[in-house]
Structure 1
């Protein structure tokens, strides 16, 4: 079973995909160019002429596929959002591995994806402050991951592996925020920590906060 995260994209901004192979290629080129320009210049400063210059096409061609900067930004997000992972506890109910090992693997996967998308993550911070609709979508997506983590924490409490006095929802919100902000500080702001140290410390803090029972062999 998997939890499908809500989309970051306003569906009203997405058009039907092109019907021809050439149209698909042209649209993909424009989306890639838009991501380059947005990440380089920021959303506010990015101009349609910069995007078309990067894509080596005309403004007329741009308007064949997108009506505005907001529409092409939505297309950029649609392509990238599945790779922009969120911190979260993996499903542990059907795994033979101890939850601590699963947490470490989850943190490493999230941080690796965040590093790969660091410039876009920085852009999302900017857009969320100026676009109320996007801010709502972003909060809804974040809340879905917090809710998922809370369910897994509660499941571990039922198994007697986690401190039963913790509020799963609040605990999930605190620990998830810690991971995402550390990723922002390291991969956007440039704080210097190695990936291994970051994964190890974040996992140990999660384990300590949850008072997670150690593996049987420990």
Structure 2
């Protein structure tokens, strides 16, 4: 059974294994990655790797866990208040999300692949999306009394716009090797923020344009 390290050396070894696994998952994808490949990358015996992780699924889940929480925090940290300056608050949130997505594009690309073949990662992917949608819809209801947008449930509209951001991030950054004209994060954040803002607060944002 895999062990949870309690010593400094053990924690350093686990961190090294995760770093090596990230390199292999990023290079070979989820399906193409093997435990032996990770062990080779880490310069460790296969038995040594199994002392820390039960299998490939367990190994990738450990990589995804921190990214999941960090992505949620990054998109929730804003310098502006939504009720005072909606556009700037949305821009802050989208910049945080896209910056973290870009920095972890290898993991996010692999997660999309893993979600298509493993129910565990499908559920993690779904939870990541749902947390973002629920948080934003709740804020709109609490701060603006917004239950609907032009007669449509606010949660459904938030879900649609969140899907737009997620897919844009995947196309722009998870598949960045296919991009002939890369889009900087600050520009990407402005693009998706215009759609967010127009969807909930109207296309005209006055002096913020």
When structure 1 is superposed on structure 2, of 130-139 and 176-185 the one drifting more is 130-139
Alpha-carbon separation, structure 2, partners of 1:157 and 1:164: 14
- Does residue 102 of structure 2 align to residue 115 of structure 1? yes
Counterpart for residue 138 of structure 2: 151
- Does residue 174 of structure 2 align to residue 188 of structure 1? yes
Counterpart for residue 153 of structure 2: 167
Q: Tell me the TM-score normalized by structure 2.
A: 0.83
Consecutive unaligned residues of structure 2, counting only runs of 5 or more, are: none
Deviations 1:78-137 (A, max 9, x none): 333333348967689967841211101111111111111111111011100000122123
Alpha-carbon separation, structure 1, partners of 2:109 and 2:163: 16
Alpha-carbon separation, structure 2, partners of 1:141 and 1:188: 16
Consecutive unaligned residues of structure 1, counting only runs of 5 or more, are: 1-13
Counterpart for residue 32 of structure 1: 19
When structure 1 is superposed on structure 2, of 117-126 and 132-141 the one drifting more is 132-141
Name the one with the larger helix percent: 2
Q: Select which of 108, 115, 119 maps to 1:128.
A: 115
Aligned residues: 203
Alpha-carbon separation, structure 2, partners of 1:51 and 1:20: 22
Q: Tell me the TM-score normalized by structure 1.
A: 0.79
Deviations 1:131-163 (A, max 9, x none): 01221232123112211111122234328xx95
1:176 is displaced (CA, Å) by 0.6
Change (3 A) 1:155 1:79: closer
Change (3 A) 1:62 1:182: same
Counterpart for residue 128 of structure 2: 141
Deviations 1:158-202 (A, max 9, x none): 28xx95644211111011111111111111233433333322221
CA contact 2:82–2:90 (8 Å) conserved in 1? no
Helix, strand or coil at the partner of 1:81:
helix
Counterpart for residue 207 of structure 1: 197
Supply the RMSD in Å over aligned alpha carbons.
3.1
Change (3 A) 1:64 1:194: closer
1:60 is displaced (CA, Å) by 1.9
Deviations 1:38-61 (A, max 9, x none): 111111111222111111111121
Change (3 A) 1:88 1:164: farther
